[in-house]
Amino acid sequence: MMTQDVWEVIWLSLQVTTVSVAIGMLVGIPTGTLLGLYSFRGKRLIVALIYTCMGLPPVLVGVVVYLLLSRYGPLGALGLLFTPEAMIIAQVILVTPILAGLTMSAVQAKERTYWETAKSLGASPMQMMITIVREARGGIWSGVAAAYGRAISEVGAVMLVGGNIEHHTRVMTTAIILETRTGNFTAGLQLGLVLLAISFLFNSFLMAGVLNQMRSRRR
Amino acid sequence: MKTIQSITALFCIALVLLLAACSSTPPAAAPQQALAEQSNPSAATPAPTPTPPTGEKKEIILATTTSTQDSGLLDALLPEFEQQSGITVKVIAVGTGQAIKLGEEGNADVLLVHSRKAEDEFVSKGFGINAYDVMYNQFYIVGPAEDPAGIKGVQSAKEAMVKIAEKQSPFVSRGDDSGTDKKEKSIWAEADITPSGNWYISSGQGMGETLQMADEKRAYTLTDEATFLSRKLNLEVLVQGDKSLLNPYGIIQVKSSAKPEEGMQLIRFFTEEQGQKLIGEFGKETYGKGLFVPDAKQR
């Protein structure tokens, strides 16, 4: 079962997911922090939009990205359709709202306690933001875990824009679909277990980190 | 304060609209319905039609290939059957490989598939009975109009595939163990080529998706006629008419089925006069030619 093909599929899954979540973090965490700290006109609308996008149907994202990247679409000249890059684009659209939304909640929960203190100590806005993010990291990490879980188990969008091409864009979830379609239920199930195991490992590391932080804070 | 007012106003408007819709629809709809029932009792309403002999709702599961579903053939045939027999047909459209697996595990009652070798095996292993030929259609080798490998007009499929491999022109394969995939692999085998390399793209998806991918990548692919004609794509038929490109469909009853009677009714519908006529006519209106050629006979 653990042939080279299977490792290749697992490796690509990890690459695509990790890059997507990393890009999502770069965009989502600052956005969430700003939204958690400041209020301004139209904020409620933005927050409502972010919450809506946290539940975006992956297939819908897939179709939109597909149409954008298609040879006959506006970005067709880039030739990105059916590449890992296309899969990353779709995944980033899916995970960024989750990261922004959960960061915002985490920051809001800490805001009152630390904002005034930091301000009274004469911190600059940038310093204040960094302090708050550091204090809210437990909540932010669980956002990262949620985003990672969503990205690695996602199938609708990556199937559409990646195309499930062997040795090129085949990831664990699309491989499971293919195995099931061709009647190899056992192989599909085995891959599914690998997927679960990876999620479990990832989340264990995260939880270990979060728990450590909590303990150190209590001290 | 202002926002609360405007929200309330919006709410009221929505409510009024809703009420208006509720009060106006029933009187308008009811007579229409009554009229339809009177004037056209045999119309294709799946509603509780006069006399399904037994009171309970009968259902069977038909496992079939994506091509029969994607081409729209089943949409043309099944409503007719359901109305005549009172049996609801649940369709599972998958690759031939999975369809046969579903049959082996008793998760389907009837199979409508196209891979003669796998079908014969299915019957000889004792999983299936009452196997019939139903119809056939053709495979095409399609590709971009530029035709980089120069296969247009080549006589045999084998020759065309040899040229594609020599030029290493992109070729999208289904790679999903379906009937079409098996046909493609058999042609490669005939040509003594093991396709591999960057030019050989294994999509692992259905025919529709594979065609779309070929279109996007300006690649060649092997497709069944029905799915190809039902999609509007910038691909051209480059090779057709070769004997090795014929695509016969078979219908087989699953031996372990709990509903042999209903299954047999469906098989009879597909293989007897009325079903065969519908199959022959299917697609004529839209594409100017029938997509499938009926040729029912018991094996």
ipTM entry: 0.77
Instruction: List CB contacts (< 8 A) between A174 and chain B.
Output: 204
Per the structure, the count of domains in chain B is 2
CB of A60 within 8 A of CB of A128?
Answer: no
Among the candidates B205, B221, B245, a domain finishes at B245
CATH number for position B92: 3.40.190.10
Residue B8 forms part of a structural domain: no
B68/B161 same-domain check: no
| pLDDT of A1 | 52
Instruction: List CB contacts (< 8 A) between B100 and chain A.
Output: 183
Per the structure, the count of domains in chain A is 1
Instruction: Say whether residue B130 is in contact with chain A using an 8 A CB cutoff.
Output: no
Per-residue pLDDT of chain B (299 residues; tens, 9 = 90+): 445 555 555 554 554 444 444 444 333 333 444 444 444 444 444 444 444 445 567 899 999 988 888 888 999 999 999 999 999 999 998 888 889 999 998 999 999 998 888 999 999 999 999 999 999 988 999 999 999 999 998 989 999 999 999 999 999 999 988 889 999 999 999 999 999 999 999 999 989 999 999 999 999 999 988 889 888 789 999 999 898 898 899 999 999 999 999 999 999 999 999 999 999 999 888 888 888 999 999 98
Dist. CA A141–CA A34, nearest whole Å: 17
Q: Say if the Cβ atoms of A168 and B201 lie within 8 Å.
A: yes
- Give the chain A residue whose CA is nearest to the CA of B197: A167
| Average pLDDT score over residue span A152-170 | 93
Instruction: List CB contacts (< 8 A) between A165 and chain B.
Output: 201-204, 213
Kindly report the pTM of this predicted structure: 0.72
Residue B124 forms part of a structural domain: yes
B219/B150 same-domain check: yes
| pLDDT of A218 | 59
Instruction: Say whether residue B236 is in contact with chain A using an 8 A CB cutoff.
Output: no
Instruction: List CB contacts (< 8 A) between A71 and chain B.
Output: 215-216
Dist. CA B265–CA A145, nearest whole Å: 53
Q: Which of A90, A86, A87 is nearest to A56 (CA)?
A: A90
Q: Say if the Cβ atoms of A182 and B216 lie within 8 Å.
A: no
Instruction: Say whether residue B66 is in contact with chain A using an 8 A CB cutoff.
Output: no
Instruction: Say whether residue A71 is in contact with chain B using an 8 A CB cutoff.
Output: yes
Residue B131 forms part of a structural domain: yes
Residue A20 forms part of a structural domain: yes
| Average pLDDT score over residue span A161-174 | 93
B87/B185 same-domain check: no
Q: What's the gap between Cα B22 and its chain centre? A: 39
| pLDDT of B50 | 44
**Å from B228 to nearest chain A CA?**
19
B81/B173 same-domain check: no
**Å from B202 to nearest chain A CA?**
5
B128/B162 same-domain check: no
Residue A181's pLDDT band, with cuts at 50, 70 and 90, is: confident
Convert chain B into a string of H (helix), E (strand) and C (coil): CHHHHHHHHHHHHHHHHHHHHHHHHHHHHHHHHHHHHHHCCCCCCCCCCCCCCCCCCEEEEEEEEHHHHHCCHHHHHHHHHHHHHCEEEEEEEECHHHHHHHHHCCCCCEEEECCHHHHHHHHHCCCEEEEEEEEEEEEEEEECCCCCCCCCCCCCHHHHHHHHHHHCCCEEECCCCCHHHHHHHHHHHHCCCCCCCCCEEECCCCHHHHHHHHHHHCCEEEEEHHHHHHCCCCCEEEECCCHHHEEEEEEEEECCCCCHHHHHHHHHHHHCHHHHHHHHHCCHHHHCCCCCEEEEEEC
Give the nearest partner residue to B217 out of A82, A164, A175, using CB atoms: A82
| pLDDT of A144 | 92
Give the nearest partner residue to A70 out of B95, B175, B216, using CB atoms: B216
Residue B43 forms part of a structural domain: no
CB atoms within 10 A of CB B42: 9
Instruction: Say whether residue B73 is in contact with chain A using an 8 A CB cutoff.
Output: no
Q: Say if the Cβ atoms of A181 and B176 lie within 8 Å.
A: yes
B95/B187 same-domain check: no
Residue B16 forms part of a structural domain: no
Q: Which of residues 141 through 160 in chain A touch B, CB cutoff 8 A?
A: 159
- The Cα angle at residue A29 between residues A24 and A34, in degrees rounded to 5: 135
- Give the chain A residue whose CA is nearest to the CA of B92: A181
B188/B215 same-domain check: yes
- Give the chain A residue whose CA is nearest to the CA of B100: A183
Q: Say if the Cβ atoms of A70 and B97 lie within 8 Å.
A: no
Instruction: Say whether residue A65 is in contact with chain B using an 8 A CB cutoff.
Output: no
Instruction: List CB contacts (< 8 A) between A79 and chain B.
Output: none
B259/B128 same-domain check: yes
Q: Say if the Cβ atoms of B213 and A82 lie within 8 Å.
A: yes
Instruction: Say whether residue A53 is in contact with chain B using an 8 A CB cutoff.
Output: no
B182/B252 same-domain check: no
Q: Say if the Cβ atoms of A183 and B203 lie within 8 Å.
A: no
CATH number for position A58: 1.10.3720.10
B128/B179 same-domain check: no
Question: For chain A, percent helix, then strand, then coil, each to nearest 5?
Answer: 80, 0, 20
| pLDDT of A2 | 61
Residue B29 forms part of a structural domain: no
User: For residue A80, what are the domain limits?
Assistant: 4-214
| pLDDT of A217 | 63
Give the nearest partner residue to A183 out of B97, B202, B213, using CB atoms: B97
Instruction: Say whether residue A202 is in contact with chain B using an 8 A CB cutoff.
Output: no
Enumerate the β-bridge partners of residue B298: B132
User: For residue B271, what are the domain limits?
Assistant: 58-136+248-298
pLDDT digit string, tens, across residues B40-49? 444 444 444 4
B142/B237 same-domain check: yes
Q: Say if the Cβ atoms of A178 and B94 lie within 8 Å.
A: no
Instruction: Say whether residue B176 is in contact with chain A using an 8 A CB cutoff.
Output: yes
Give the nearest partner residue to B95 out of A165, A182, A185, using CB atoms: A182
Q: Is the pLDDT of residue A75 over 70?
A: yes
Instruction: List CB contacts (< 8 A) between A168 and chain B.
Output: 201
Residue A219 forms part of a structural domain: no
- Give the chain A residue whose CA is nearest to the CA of B98: A183
**Å from B65 to nearest chain A CA?**
11
Residue B37 forms part of a structural domain: no
Percent of chain A residues past pLDDT 90, beyond the cut: 60
Q: Which of A106, A110, A87, A109 is nearest to A98 (CA)?
A: A106
Instruction: List CB contacts (< 8 A) between A164 and chain B.
Output: 203-205
Instruction: List CB contacts (< 8 A) between A41 and chain B.
Output: none
B156/B218 same-domain check: yes
Residue A41 forms part of a structural domain: yes
| pLDDT of A219 | 53
Instruction: Say whether residue A87 is in contact with chain B using an 8 A CB cutoff.
Output: no
- Give the chain A residue whose CA is nearest to the CA of B182: A182
